Amino acid sequence: MDLVQRRLHEKYGYLIRIGPNELSCADPKAKKDIYRLRNPLQKTDFYSVFKNPKIGAGENLFSLTNEKEHSKLKRAIGNVYKLENIDEKCVDRCSQLFLGRIGELADEGHNIELGRWLHMFAYDTIGEIFFGHMFGFMEHRFDHGSYIESVKLLMPILCIAAVSPVYLRPIIFGFSFMVPAIRRAFQALDNINCAAENIVKTQLETEQTNNNGLLQKLFSLEKKKAINMDHVKMEAWSALFAGADTTAIALCSIFYHLMRNPTAYEKLQVEIDSTYLSISPGDDISFSEARKLPYLKACILEATRLSPSIGLTLPRVVPLDGLSLCGRHIPSSYRVGINPAVIHYDETVFGRDASLFRPERWLEENAAEDMGRYLLNFGAGTRTCIGQNIANLEMYKLPLAVLRRFHICMKPNQAWKTRDVWFNQPEELYVKITRRSYPM
């Protein structure tokens, strides 16, 4: 989808029709209008597919289309996701386990399916940060509760339903239910519901007040009546659903682009090694330290620019007075949106070589500010990703920890194959991992 949409925009310009009353816009200037902060455009019914009817009214921060209700809920819970509330040690514990596991596999001489291990890392990290314990993906080396498989199987159906008219959705879901694998995936997705429900219940019963996870912070809000228990359960569920796959994809793209570009990989390796000469590779580097590495930051921005985790337009409803886009008046009730995987390739913003991985572009004067405002990785406007601090902790800390201990490579010129079903899911990515042998 992302490739097709990029080609269509190349051929027909910044504004293209992708449905009877739906437009895809690729004009960087339009970002501030479509995702404006004042009188924001509402999310479309695309998002109602991501409600969870099994928990209360089913609405969550992600799926809510009513901007007033959304801003009320965001005011109530937004602080929970602030950086100072997230225990960085959770990411360290998960990184250490990840390093241990890939070290064992490296010693056994196996090639590793990196994407799968990054998924397991991302799910366990959400568990550790949110619920105060990992789920056991990495410990038991398997897809706990089949979460990974279920999301993989379900996303295409959810995506087709989300881009289809509401009246067709029951038919789509009905037919998909006839496919045994998808039926199983729906059942497995119920495991995520149950997991969220059970963890909330257990922590409530045992009053684990010493547990510092974000869930406890949500409980405190519930006690103060700022939110209700359904909100707590829903946040737990949406952290699992919205926070694990997206982060795993981002991590995968960082590793992929580094392996695909050995010069950049080597430059990053030199930056890391020379900065931490006196610190043992087994020790954790803090996020505040990691963020000071300019080339690491540039690599993360560049990889997630070229391969954003979400690869469809983020659709919004044109308001009653219409919207002016690319010199055209767009009437009310039309849907418009920008696809991160399209705008990120815009040559007027990112340069003539926008389709190439070149982290150096982020180090040029004013570049981070000039280009950064057109990145849509984490969305834009009033609906930007609430979990970006969690994601950033993982995106800085894990690659840094891995590169300090291991060398990783894939077959030369291996292509980046993804399946764009809203989440732009990477296909299997086998890599060879070896321990670095310099004195540590």
Residue set of the binding site for heme: 385
Which residue, judged by CB position, is nearest to ligand HEM in the bound state? 387
Question: Helices (H), strands (E): how many in the chain?
Answer: 18, 11
Binder of ligand HEM out of 134, 268, 317, 391 (CB under 6 A): 391
- 335 counts as binding ligand HEM under rule CB under 6 A: no
Query: Which of 182/189 has CB closer to ligand HEM?
Result: 189
- Of 297, 414, 285, nearest to 362 (Cα)? 297
The stretch among 156-164, 186-194, 234-242, 293-301 that binds ligand HEM (CB under 6 A) is: 234-242
Which of 51, 54, 74, 267 is close enough to bind ligand HEM by CB under 6 A? 74
> Which residues sit in the known binding site?
385
Return all residues near 181 (Cβ < 8 A) that are at least 6 apart. 153
Helices (H), 346-438: 347-350, 367-372, 388-405
Q: Binding string, 175-194, against ligand HEM, x = CB under 6 A?
A: --------------------
Q: Evaluate whether 232 touches 130 at the Cβ level (below 8 Å).
A: no
Least distance in Å: CB of 339 to ligand HEM? 11
Q: How far is the CB of 217 from ligand HEM (least distance, A)?
A: 12
Window 347-386: residues binding ligand HEM (CB under 6 A): 377-379, 383, 385-386
Pick between residue 218 and residue 285 the one whose CB is nearest to ligand HEM.
Answer: 218
Q: Contact between 242 and ligand HEM (CB under 6 A)?
A: yes
Tokens of 166: 């509401």
In this chain, which of 387, 402, 425, 429 binds ligand HEM, going by CB under 6 A? Answer: 387
Q: CB pairs under 8 A, 24+ apart, for 152-156?
A: 152/425, 153/181, 153/182, 153/184, 153/185, 154/182, 154/185, 154/186, 154/189, 155/245, 155/421, 155/422, 155/423, 155/425, 156/419, 156/421
Say whether residue 317 binds ligand HEM (CB under 6 A): no
Of 328, 351, 354, nearest to 341 by C-alpha is 354
390 binds ligand HEM (CB under 6 A): yes
The number of residues that bind ligand HEM (CB under 6 A) is 22
CA distance 335 to 318: 6
Compute the C-alpha angle 90/95/101, nearest 5°. 130
CA 48, CA 52: separation in Å to the nearest integer? 9
**Distance (Å, whole) CA 251 – CA 259:** 12
Q: How far is the CB of 383 from ligand HEM (least distance, A)?
A: 4
Closest CB to ligand HEM among residues 103, 379: 379
Per CB under 6 A, 309 contacts ligand HEM: yes
Q: Quick one: 182 or 309, whose CB is closer to ligand HEM?
A: 309
Please choose, out of 173-181, 236-244, 261-269, 425-433, the segment that lies near ligand HEM by the rule CB under 6 A. Answer: 236-244
Q: By CB under 6 A, name the one of 18, 23, 34, 62 that touches ligand HEM.
A: 62
Amino acid at 345: Y
Instruction: Name which of 10, 2, 1 is nearest 340 in CA terms.
Output: 2
- Taking each helix axis from N to C end, the angle separating 262-275 and 294-306, rounded to the nearest 10 degrees, works out to 150
- Closest contact distance (angstroms) between CB of 63 and ligand HEM is 8
User: How far apart are CB 260 and ligand HEM at their closest, in Å?
Assistant: 19
* Cα–Cα distance for residue pair 237/243, rounded to 1 Å: 10
Tokens matching residue 156: 């295409």
Residue 326: CB minimum distance to ligand HEM, A: 21
- From the list 30, 151, 236, 250, which residue makes contact with ligand HEM (rule: CB under 6 A)? 250
243 binds ligand HEM (CB under 6 A): yes
Q: What are phi and psi of 91, to 5 degrees?
A: -65, -40
Site for ligand HEM in 87-146 (CB under 6 A): none
Q: Is 239 in the site for ligand HEM (CB under 6 A)?
A: yes
Residue among 106 and 339 whose Cβ is closer to ligand HEM: 339
**Which two three-digit tokens encode residue 169?**
């959705």
For residue 44, state whether it binds ligand HEM (rule: CB under 6 A).
Answer: no
**Backbone angles phi and psi of 133, in degrees to 5:** -155, 150
CB of 73 to ligand HEM, least distance (A): 8
Least Å distance between CB 210 and ligand HEM? 22
Which one, of 351, 389, 368, 316, lies nearest residue 91 by Cα? 389
Binding stretches for ligand HEM (CB under 6 A): 61-62, 74, 238-239, 242-243, 246-247, 250, 309-310, 314, 377-379, 383, 385-387, 390-391
